[in-house]
Amino acid sequence: MTLLVLFGSFFAALIIGVPVAFALGLSSLITVFFLELPPVIVFQRMGAGINVFALMAIPFFIYAGELMLHGKIADRLVTLAGNALGHVRGGLGVVNVATSMLFGGISGSAVADASALGSTLIPIMRKRGYDDDYSVNITVSSATIGLTVPPSHNMIIYSIAAGGTVSVSSLFLAGFIPGVVTGLLLMATAYVIAVRRGYPADAFPGWKALFVSFVAAIPGLMTAVIIVGGVLSGVFTATESSAIAVIYAILVTLLVYRSLTWKGFVTATLGAVRTTAIVLLVIGMAAAFGWLLALEQVPARLFDMLQAISDNPIVILLIINVILLLLGTFMDMSPLIVITTPIFLPIAVNLGMDPVQFGIMLMINLGIGLVTPPVGSVLFVGCAVAKIRMEDTLKSIWPFYLALILALIAVTYVPAVSMTLPNLFGGA
């Protein structure tokens, strides 16, 4: 009955339009009253949920991403990718994916990726004769690569939701190969569709132009190198690396590129404050909700239920993925990470899956939800940038969904895809 009250009140709040964070807090409060527990417990759990030192990395990584976004780092990356791959048939689609792989490793945000690259590439693709639905679909689907390519603040949220037992540096390492696999699958999809629709190819600008654009992009590309390299070498921790990222972003955009204006700086700062407030509020509310799930022994109950359906790990992992995919279609990523990690991680570990591998699986899975209606924030951003209706994109987005799902299957059932680098570097 307690779970009925908890989930019933939560979904009822969502249906009437209550924001996810407040729906989590309201349902937790209602359930505590139902259990005749002191309501102060909800606020204590909220405080405990955000009173974690590792969470300091989240506002800094968000701020660094905003600075890179408004400092127009994306423009250099678009030029580099265009010079390298623009001569392929339908090359701007492939360029879109390649730029997302590069920019994702700098911003760590799918929304920032879709916003920055969408506003830059979609108008260019429109002028070159690309259909708007193709441009939006490739932009939003490739934006999810930033969730797995480090640094990703969602990986930090997962590490905390897992009880702090999962190494952030191992998660950073584990995301590289899945990010590349996802990018290659999306590139292949973009190329096939471009050939079928007869999209043009640009002339190769020459090796000199390619080299010049590469040199120009190096300062921005060094962001991910400095962050990951510093963490792996032990120079600084993952939390400290986030502060380094902010300092480096300011130096690059202000002194090297000189592209960060005062207006852009203020906009980036306010955007980081706003996003951080939302993320931390969601984490706090979800922590209270998750505590009630643990109190009711939901993970153990769910594991017993899944074993009653099948004792085959392949089937159980498939069911978990389907549940996560469905949840991702109507809930944001941050609360889902905090809520579902304590539920499904013990089940995955019991099946022999490494917590790091499960984390990458979770990132890709919930990333698909960001481009899936009804609550697909990244899809909304892409449609808003292109000024087209979501219905126009959904008719032709399914090949890109298929590419993302293939990447998800590879990470789920082939441990080497995500675990090769962490094992190679000893889980540094």
Where exactly are the structural domains of the chain? 38-421
Report pLDDT for 105.
57
DSSP assignment of 219-285 equals: HHHHHHHHHHHHHHHTSS-HHHHHHHHHHHHHHIIIIIS----HHHHHHHHHHHHHHHHHHHHHHHH
Token pair in block for residue 395: 């008719």
φ and ψ of 23, to 5 deg = -65, -40
Tokens encoding 360: 């990458």
C-alpha 384/C-alpha 119 separation (Å) is 10
Query: For the chain, what is the radius of gyration of the CA atoms?
Result: 21
At residue 328, φ and ψ (nearest 5 deg) are -70, -15
pLDDT digits (tens, 9 = 90+) for 304-340: 788 788 888 999 999 999 999 988 887 778 888 888 8
Give the rounded distance of the alpha carbon of 18 from its chain centre: 23
CA–CA separation, 311 vs 37, rounded Å? 37
Q: How far apart are CA 161 and CA 342, in angstroms?
A: 7
pLDDT surpassing 90 at residue 362: yes
pLDDT at residue 76 in the model:
79
pLDDT at 291 over 90: no
Segment 95-123 shows an average pLDDT of 74
DSSP label at residue 152: -
pLDDT digits (tens, 9 = 90+) for 82-107: 787 777 777 778 888 887 777 765 65
Select the more confidently predicted residue: 177 or 239. 177
How does pLDDT run across 35-59, given as a tens digit for each residue?
Answer: 888 888 888 888 887 887 777 877 8
Query: What is the rounded distance in angstroms from the CA atom of residue 217 to the CA atom of residue 73?
Result: 8
Cβ partners under 8 Å of residue 229, min gap 6: none
Q: How many residues does the chain have?
A: 428
Tokens for 354, please give them.
């490494």
Query: What pLDDT, on the 0 to 100 scale, is given for residue 298?
Result: 75
User: Looking up tokens 């449609």, which residue turns up?
Assistant: 383
Whole-prediction pTM: 0.83
pLDDT digits (tens, 9 = 90+) for 151-173: 778 888 898 888 878 888 888 88
Structure tokens at 27: 């349902």
* Contact (Cβ atoms closer than 8 angstroms) between residue 132 and residue 126: yes
Q: Half-sphere exposure of 304 toward its Cβ, with a 13 Å CA cutoff?
A: 5
Amino acid at 253: T
- The answer to whether residues 112 and 90 touch, using CB atoms and an 8 Å cutoff, is no
The answer to whether residues 322 and 361 touch, using CB atoms and an 8 Å cutoff, is no
Nearest by Cα to 391 from 130, 93, 137, 52: 137
Cis-peptide, bond into residue 150, ω within 30° of zero: no
Share of the chain above pLDDT 90, in %: 17
Percent of the chain with pLDDT over 70: 96
- The closest of 367, 307, 308 to 108, measured between CA atoms, is 367
Which one has a higher pLDDT value, 300 or 363? 363
**Closest among 219, 215, 205 to 248, alpha carbons compared:** 219
